[in-house]
Protein backbone atom coordinates (compact mmCIF):
# COMPACT_ATOMS: atom_id res chain seq x y z
CA UNK A 1 0.00 0.00 0.00
CA UNK A 2 1.53 3.32 -1.12
CA UNK A 3 1.62 6.32 1.22
CA UNK A 4 -0.13 9.53 0.17
CA UNK A 5 2.77 11.68 -1.07
CA UNK A 6 1.01 14.49 -2.92
CA UNK A 7 -2.31 16.23 -3.49
CA UNK A 8 -2.65 17.83 -6.94
CA UNK A 9 -5.08 20.74 -7.17
CA UNK A 10 -6.93 22.01 -10.22
CA UNK A 11 -7.33 25.82 -10.20
CA UNK A 12 -10.44 27.22 -11.87
CA UNK A 13 -13.55 26.17 -10.02
CA UNK A 14 -11.60 24.12 -7.47
CA UNK A 15 -9.49 26.67 -5.60
CA UNK A 16 -12.00 29.46 -6.29
CA UNK A 17 -15.07 30.29 -8.36
CA UNK A 18 -13.13 32.08 -11.09
CA UNK A 19 -15.22 31.51 -14.20
CA UNK A 20 -18.59 33.35 -14.13
CA UNK A 21 -17.38 36.60 -12.50
CA UNK A 22 -13.72 36.25 -13.49
CA UNK A 23 -12.67 34.78 -16.82
CA UNK A 24 -16.09 35.41 -18.42
CA UNK A 25 -15.95 39.11 -17.47
CA UNK A 26 -12.37 39.31 -18.76
CA UNK A 27 -13.35 37.75 -22.09
CA UNK A 28 -16.17 40.29 -22.45
CA UNK A 29 -13.76 43.09 -21.60
CA UNK A 30 -11.50 41.87 -24.42
CA UNK A 31 -14.39 41.80 -26.91
CA UNK A 32 -15.25 45.37 -25.94
CA UNK A 33 -11.61 46.57 -26.06
CA UNK A 34 -11.29 45.25 -29.60
CA UNK A 35 -14.56 46.89 -30.64
CA UNK A 36 -16.37 43.60 -31.17
CA UNK A 37 -20.10 43.17 -30.51
CA UNK A 38 -19.69 39.72 -28.97
CA UNK A 39 -20.55 39.17 -25.34
CA UNK A 40 -20.58 35.86 -23.47
CA UNK A 41 -23.62 35.85 -21.18
CA UNK A 42 -23.69 33.36 -18.30
CA UNK A 43 -25.68 30.53 -20.00
CA UNK A 44 -23.56 30.62 -23.17
CA UNK A 45 -20.34 30.67 -21.14
CA UNK A 46 -21.49 27.56 -19.28
CA UNK A 47 -21.71 25.79 -22.66
CA UNK A 48 -18.36 27.18 -23.86
CA UNK A 49 -16.66 26.02 -20.65
CA UNK A 50 -16.79 22.46 -21.96
CA UNK A 51 -13.90 23.61 -24.18
CA UNK A 52 -10.87 23.98 -21.92
CA UNK A 53 -8.24 26.59 -22.67
CA UNK A 54 -9.08 30.22 -23.45
CA UNK A 55 -7.73 30.22 -27.02
CA UNK A 56 -9.41 26.91 -27.78
CA UNK A 57 -12.67 28.29 -26.33
CA UNK A 58 -12.46 31.44 -28.47
CA UNK A 59 -11.69 29.41 -31.58
CA UNK A 60 -14.65 27.08 -30.90
CA UNK A 61 -16.93 30.11 -30.38
CA UNK A 62 -15.98 31.76 -33.67
CA UNK A 63 -16.23 28.51 -35.59
CA UNK A 64 -19.63 27.75 -34.10
CA UNK A 65 -21.23 31.18 -33.84
CA UNK A 66 -19.22 33.71 -35.95
CA UNK A 67 -17.40 32.00 -38.84
CA UNK A 68 -14.37 33.97 -40.03
CA UNK A 69 -11.58 33.27 -42.49
CA UNK A 70 -9.07 31.06 -40.63
CA UNK A 71 -6.20 33.58 -40.79
CA UNK A 72 -8.43 36.41 -39.49
CA UNK A 73 -9.92 34.16 -36.82
CA UNK A 74 -6.52 32.99 -35.54
CA UNK A 75 -5.18 36.57 -35.44
CA UNK A 76 -8.27 37.72 -33.57
CA UNK A 77 -8.19 34.79 -31.12
CA UNK A 78 -4.57 35.45 -30.21
CA UNK A 79 -5.17 39.18 -29.64
CA UNK A 80 -8.41 38.62 -27.71
CA UNK A 81 -6.75 36.06 -25.43
CA UNK A 82 -3.79 38.38 -24.75
CA UNK A 83 -6.12 41.24 -23.82
CA UNK A 84 -8.35 38.89 -21.81
CA UNK A 85 -5.47 37.53 -19.72
CA UNK A 86 -4.23 41.04 -18.99
CA UNK A 87 -7.77 42.00 -17.94
CA UNK A 88 -8.03 38.88 -15.78
CA UNK A 89 -4.70 39.66 -14.08
CA UNK A 90 -5.99 43.14 -13.23
CA UNK A 91 -9.30 41.68 -12.08
CA UNK A 92 -7.40 39.34 -9.75
CA UNK A 93 -5.59 42.28 -8.18
CA UNK A 94 -8.68 44.35 -7.59
CA UNK A 95 -11.42 41.81 -7.11
CA UNK A 96 -12.85 39.85 -4.30
CA UNK A 97 -12.10 36.42 -5.82
CA UNK A 98 -11.77 34.37 -2.65
CA UNK A 99 -10.63 30.78 -2.04
CA UNK A 100 -13.45 28.27 -1.65
CA UNK A 101 -14.23 27.14 1.92
CA UNK A 102 -11.58 24.85 3.36
CA UNK A 103 -8.88 25.52 0.74
CA UNK A 104 -6.59 27.58 3.02
CA UNK A 105 -7.16 25.19 5.95
CA UNK A 106 -6.37 22.11 3.79
CA UNK A 107 -3.19 23.66 2.33
CA UNK A 108 -1.98 24.36 5.88
CA UNK A 109 -2.89 20.86 7.07
CA UNK A 110 -1.15 19.22 4.09
CA UNK A 111 1.98 21.27 4.78
CA UNK A 112 1.98 20.31 8.47
CA UNK A 113 1.51 16.65 7.47
CA UNK A 114 4.48 16.84 5.08
CA UNK A 115 2.30 16.07 2.06
CA UNK A 116 3.43 17.70 -1.18
CA UNK A 117 1.02 20.12 -2.88
CA UNK A 118 1.04 20.69 -6.64
CA UNK A 119 -1.19 22.42 -9.21
CA UNK A 120 -2.28 21.09 -12.60
CA UNK A 121 -4.42 23.51 -14.63
CA UNK A 122 -5.21 24.21 -18.28
CA UNK A 123 -5.08 27.94 -17.49
CA UNK A 124 -2.32 30.32 -18.62
CA UNK A 125 0.74 30.81 -16.41
CA UNK A 126 0.43 34.59 -16.94
CA UNK A 127 -2.48 34.68 -14.50
CA UNK A 128 -2.19 31.33 -12.69
CA UNK A 129 0.76 32.34 -10.52
CA UNK A 130 -0.60 35.78 -9.56
CA UNK A 131 -3.94 34.13 -8.78
CA UNK A 132 -2.35 31.45 -6.60
CA UNK A 133 -0.41 34.07 -4.65
CA UNK A 134 -3.53 36.24 -4.26
CA UNK A 135 -5.75 33.34 -3.18
CA UNK A 136 -3.30 31.46 -0.95
CA UNK A 137 -0.98 34.18 0.26
CA UNK A 138 2.75 34.31 -0.36
CA UNK A 139 3.77 31.64 2.19
CA UNK A 140 1.32 28.94 1.03
CA UNK A 141 2.08 29.78 -2.63
CA UNK A 142 5.83 29.39 -1.96
CA UNK A 143 5.19 25.94 -0.46
CA UNK A 144 3.56 24.58 -3.64
CA UNK A 145 6.15 22.21 -5.11
CA UNK A 146 5.06 22.35 -8.76
CA UNK A 147 2.66 24.38 -10.94
CA UNK A 148 1.76 22.84 -14.31
CA UNK A 149 -0.18 25.20 -16.62
CA UNK A 150 -1.65 25.09 -20.12
CA UNK A 151 1.70 26.04 -21.63
CA UNK A 152 3.34 22.89 -20.27
CA UNK A 153 1.14 20.45 -22.20
CA UNK A 154 0.25 19.77 -25.83
CA UNK A 155 -3.22 18.49 -24.94
CA UNK A 156 -5.45 20.13 -22.33
CA UNK A 157 -8.00 18.50 -20.02
CA UNK A 158 -9.90 16.21 -20.35
CA UNK A 159 -6.68 14.78 -21.75
CA UNK A 160 -4.65 13.41 -18.78
CA UNK A 161 -1.37 14.99 -19.94
CA UNK A 162 -1.34 17.75 -17.28
CA UNK A 163 -1.62 15.14 -14.51
CA UNK A 164 0.84 12.77 -16.16
CA UNK A 165 3.40 15.58 -16.48
CA UNK A 166 2.81 16.52 -12.82
CA UNK A 167 3.30 12.93 -11.61
CA UNK A 168 6.40 12.55 -13.76
CA UNK A 169 8.00 15.78 -12.49
CA UNK A 170 7.16 14.85 -8.89
CA UNK A 171 8.64 11.39 -9.61
CA UNK A 172 5.71 9.63 -7.99
CA UNK A 173 3.22 7.02 -9.15
CA UNK A 174 -0.54 7.74 -9.47
CA UNK A 175 -1.29 5.57 -6.41
CA UNK A 176 0.85 7.93 -4.32
CA UNK A 177 -1.33 10.99 -5.05
CA UNK A 178 -4.87 12.40 -5.13
CA UNK A 179 -6.40 14.95 -7.54
CA UNK A 180 -8.81 17.71 -6.44
CA UNK A 181 -11.15 18.84 -9.24
CA UNK A 182 -14.46 20.67 -9.94
CA UNK A 183 -15.58 19.54 -13.41
CA UNK A 184 -16.22 16.50 -15.58
CA UNK A 185 -13.31 17.47 -17.84
CA UNK A 186 -11.02 17.62 -14.82
CA UNK A 187 -12.29 14.32 -13.46
CA UNK A 188 -11.73 12.64 -16.84
CA UNK A 189 -8.17 14.00 -16.95
CA UNK A 190 -7.41 12.77 -13.42
CA UNK A 191 -8.88 9.31 -14.00
CA UNK A 192 -7.07 9.11 -17.35
CA UNK A 193 -3.86 9.48 -15.33
CA UNK A 194 -5.05 6.69 -12.95
CA UNK A 195 -5.45 9.17 -10.06
CA UNK A 196 -8.03 8.97 -7.31
CA UNK A 197 -10.11 12.12 -7.58
CA UNK A 198 -12.07 14.26 -5.10
CA UNK A 199 -14.70 16.53 -6.66
CA UNK A 200 -16.04 19.78 -5.20
CA UNK A 201 -18.43 20.78 -8.04
CA UNK A 202 -18.13 24.42 -9.10
CA UNK A 203 -21.25 26.47 -9.80
CA UNK A 204 -21.17 25.78 -13.58
CA UNK A 205 -20.50 22.06 -13.10
CA UNK A 206 -23.15 20.91 -10.61
CA UNK A 207 -24.96 18.81 -13.24
CA UNK A 208 -21.81 17.17 -14.61
CA UNK A 209 -21.35 13.38 -14.54
CA UNK A 210 -19.16 12.59 -11.52
CA UNK A 211 -19.95 8.85 -11.43
CA UNK A 212 -16.25 8.04 -11.93
CA UNK A 213 -15.19 10.17 -8.94
CA UNK A 214 -13.84 8.65 -5.73
CA UNK A 215 -15.59 11.23 -3.56
CA UNK A 216 -17.91 14.18 -4.29
CA UNK A 217 -18.63 16.81 -1.64
CA UNK A 218 -20.32 20.20 -1.93
CA UNK A 219 -17.41 22.04 -0.25
CA UNK A 220 -14.31 21.03 1.73
CA UNK A 221 -15.92 22.82 4.67
CA UNK A 222 -14.48 24.68 7.61
CA UNK A 223 -15.11 24.38 11.37
CA UNK A 224 -18.75 25.28 11.88
CA UNK A 225 -19.45 24.94 8.14
CA UNK A 226 -20.18 21.21 7.70
CA UNK A 227 -20.13 20.13 4.08
CA UNK A 228 -22.71 17.88 2.40
CA UNK A 229 -21.31 14.64 0.97
CA UNK A 230 -22.82 14.03 -2.49
CA UNK A 231 -21.17 10.72 -3.49
CA UNK A 232 -19.04 8.35 -1.38
CA UNK A 233 -18.49 5.13 -3.37
CA UNK A 234 -15.69 3.88 -1.09
CA UNK A 235 -17.85 4.41 1.99
CA UNK A 236 -15.19 6.34 3.88
CA UNK A 237 -15.95 7.83 7.30
CA UNK A 238 -16.29 11.62 7.05
CA UNK A 239 -15.99 14.18 9.82
CA UNK A 240 -17.33 17.74 9.88
CA UNK A 241 -14.78 18.86 7.24
CA UNK A 242 -12.65 17.28 4.51
CA UNK A 243 -9.18 17.19 6.07
CA UNK A 244 -5.97 15.20 5.76
CA UNK A 245 -7.51 12.39 7.81
CA UNK A 246 -10.34 12.15 5.25
CA UNK A 247 -7.87 12.24 2.36
CA UNK A 248 -5.71 9.52 3.95
CA UNK A 249 -8.82 7.34 4.46
CA UNK A 250 -9.91 7.93 0.85
CA UNK A 251 -6.43 7.31 -0.50
CA UNK A 252 -6.18 4.05 1.50
CA UNK A 253 -9.56 2.78 0.28
CA UNK A 254 -9.30 3.97 -3.33
CA UNK A 255 -5.84 2.53 -3.92
CA UNK A 256 -6.43 -0.75 -2.09
CA UNK A 257 -6.19 -3.81 -4.36
CA UNK A 258 -9.65 -4.99 -5.47
CA UNK A 259 -11.04 -7.47 -2.88
CA UNK A 260 -11.07 -11.03 -4.28
CA UNK A 261 -14.68 -12.34 -4.75
C1 LIG B 1 -10.07 26.13 -16.60
C2 LIG B 1 -9.93 26.46 -18.03
C3 LIG B 1 -9.16 27.68 -18.42
C4 LIG B 1 -9.89 28.95 -17.95
C5 LIG B 1 -9.46 30.16 -18.75
O6 LIG B 1 -8.87 25.48 -16.28
O7 LIG B 1 -10.37 25.71 -18.87
O8 LIG B 1 -9.11 27.70 -19.81
O9 LIG B 1 -11.30 28.80 -18.15
O10 LIG B 1 -8.06 30.32 -18.63
P11 LIG B 1 -8.75 24.50 -14.97
P12 LIG B 1 -7.18 30.55 -19.95
O13 LIG B 1 -10.16 24.15 -14.48
O14 LIG B 1 -8.00 23.29 -15.51
O15 LIG B 1 -7.97 25.29 -13.97
O16 LIG B 1 -7.88 31.60 -20.77
O17 LIG B 1 -5.84 30.99 -19.44
O18 LIG B 1 -7.13 29.22 -20.63
MG1 LIG C 1 -11.40 23.41 -13.05
Q: What is the pLDDT of residues 61-89, one digit of tens each?
A: 999 999 999 999 999 999 999 999 999 99
- Give the integer Cα–Cα distance in Å for 179 and 7: 6
Q: How far does residue 100's CA lie from ligand 2's centre (Å)?
A: 13
124 lines ligand 1 (CB under 6 A): yes
52 lines ligand 1 (CB under 6 A): yes
Q: How far does residue 122's CA lie from ligand 1's centre (Å)?
A: 5
Is 12 part of the annotated catalytic residue set?
yes
Of the residues 10, 159, 182, 243, only one is catalytic, namely 10
- Identify which of 8, 12, 184 to mutate to test ligand 1's pocket (most ligand atoms within 8 A of the CB): 12
Whole-prediction pTM: 0.96
pLDDT for 75 equals: 97
| CATH architecture of the domain with range 6-17+98-259 | 3-Layer(aba) Sandwich (3.40)
The CATH superfamily holding the domain 19-94 is: Putative phosphatase; domain 2 (1.10.150.240)
10 lines ligand 1 (CB under 6 A): yes
- Give the integer Cα–Cα distance in Å for 42 and 16: 17
pLDDT tens digits for the chain (261 residues)? 679 999 999 999 999 999 999 999 999 999 999 999 999 999 999 999 999 999 999 999 999 999 999 999 999 999 999 999 999 999 999 877 999 999 999 999 999 999 999 999 999 999 999 999 999 999 999 999 999 999 999 999 999 999 999 999 999 999 999 999 999 999 999 999 999 999 999 999 999 999 999 999 999 999 999 989 999 999 999 999 999 999 999 999 998 776 666
24 lines ligand 1 (CB under 6 A): no
Domain chopping of the chain, boundaries? 6-17+98-259, 19-94
160 lines ligand 1 (CB under 6 A): no
Is 10 part of the annotated catalytic residue set?
yes
Amino acid sequence: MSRLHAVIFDVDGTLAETERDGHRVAFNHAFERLGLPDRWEEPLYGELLWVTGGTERLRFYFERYRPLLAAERDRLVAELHRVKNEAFRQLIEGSGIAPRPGILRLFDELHRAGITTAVATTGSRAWVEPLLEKLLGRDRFSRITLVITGEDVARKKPDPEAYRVTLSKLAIRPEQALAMEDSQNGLEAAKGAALSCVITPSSYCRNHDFSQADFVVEELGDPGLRSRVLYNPHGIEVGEVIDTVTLHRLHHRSTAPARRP
